[in-house]
Amino acid sequence: MEHTKTEPDAIRQLVRENYAKIANAFGACCNADAGTSCCTGAETDANRIGYSNAQIESAPDAAAMGLGCGNPQAIANLKSGETVLDLGSGAGFDCFLAARAVGETGRVIGVDMTDGMVRKARRNAKRAGIGNVWFRTGHIEHLPLDDGTVDVIMSNCVINLSPEKEAVFREAYRVLKPGGRLAISDVVAVRPLPASMLADRQLHCACIGGAALVAELRQMLETTGFEKIGISLVDSSRDLIEQWAPGKNAQVYVVSAFIQAIKPGNNGTH
């Protein structure tokens, strides 16, 4: 049985340790020999994963670490006054873009399990004078938020790293207001990964080994209660993914995707 299901605590610890290293200095996600990955800002810059120059320039310099596999802002359709939650917020890049979109009457909350990333994000916010953003340490499987308090949940290439994705979606559903929505960019599997990939801890860190099949993700969202589910594959991401794990043919098995869904109900905007 694959390690992502039998050793969730070990996987979380592995990911936490590697992102702690990234918080201190840019480098490969798992180790110096792991090659490039979605966790390596030097290779996966913000332009290449879909952010405009204007977006990059509007955020604090230290926040644009080039992490991720897409731009969730492109599908979030954020509105003034909304409350936004970013799962796996890192140094705060997506949070700072969202803060501009929701304005002074809105607020943005970033949750990350890596203390170093949270400290970096808080420093970035303070230096930039961005006052409507808060960062909290926590697991995305156990969110430190009250029920029904969020309008929009974003995430960028983080849910694939979780060994308990069903719990992530249950928590997302819990904290969303009725009518609240998901706007997620993530890596998904388009065919079952070989056993060798599933067993490779470095590939898990590289946002490949933990990717769930599209059908599995859709089933998780439906079971949780979400409606209007959309999973749109970004085939152009294959070239980038090939660079995350050279020689592994990862691009044959996984691609980036936009994931959207709505919690049933009406919060005045749906």
Q: Where are the domains of the chain?
A: 3-262
**110 pairs with which residues across the strands?**
86, 135
What letter would DSSP give residue 213?
B
- The whole-angstrom separation of Cα 128 and Cα 105 is 18
Fold of 3-262: Rossmann fold (3.40.50)
- The whole-angstrom separation of Cα 240 and Cα 231 is 19
Q: 3-state class of 187 per DSSP?
A: strand
Kindly give the pairing relationship between strand 133-137 and strand 150-156: unpaired
- The whole-angstrom separation of Cα 84 and Cα 174 is 14
Show the tokens assigned to 176: 């969303």
In degrees rounded to 5, what are phi and psi of residue 214? Answer: -55, -45
What letter would DSSP give residue 254?
E
pLDDT at 210: 93
Q: Are 190 and 163 in contact (CB under 8 A)?
A: no
pLDDT in tens, 240-255: 899 889 999 999 999 9
pLDDT at 62: 61
Q: 3-state class of 71 per DSSP?
A: coil
Q: Enter the pTM of the model.
A: 0.87
For every one of its 270 residues, what pLDDT tens digit does the chain have, with 9 covering 90 and above? 344 444 777 777 666 666 556 656 544 343 334 334 454 443 346 787 888 888 888 887 766 666 689 999 999 999 999 999 999 999 899 999 999 999 999 999 999 998 888 999 999 999 999 999 999 999 999 999 999 999 999 999 999 999 999 999 999 999 999 999 999 999 999 999 999 999 888 898 889 999 999 999 999 999 999 999 999 999 999 998 998 899 999 999 999 999 999 999 986 544
pLDDT in tens, 101-112: 999 999 999 999
Amino acid at site 6: T
pLDDT at 39: 47
Q: Are 102 and 130 in contact (CB under 8 A)?
A: no
Q: Are 65 and 157 in contact (CB under 8 A)?
A: no
DSSP 117-163: HHHHHHHHHHHHT--SEEEEE-BTTB-SS-TT-EEEEEEES-GGG-S
Return the exposure string of 44-68: e unless at least 16 CB atoms fall within 10 Å of the residue's CB, then b: bebeebbbeeebbeebbeebbbbbb
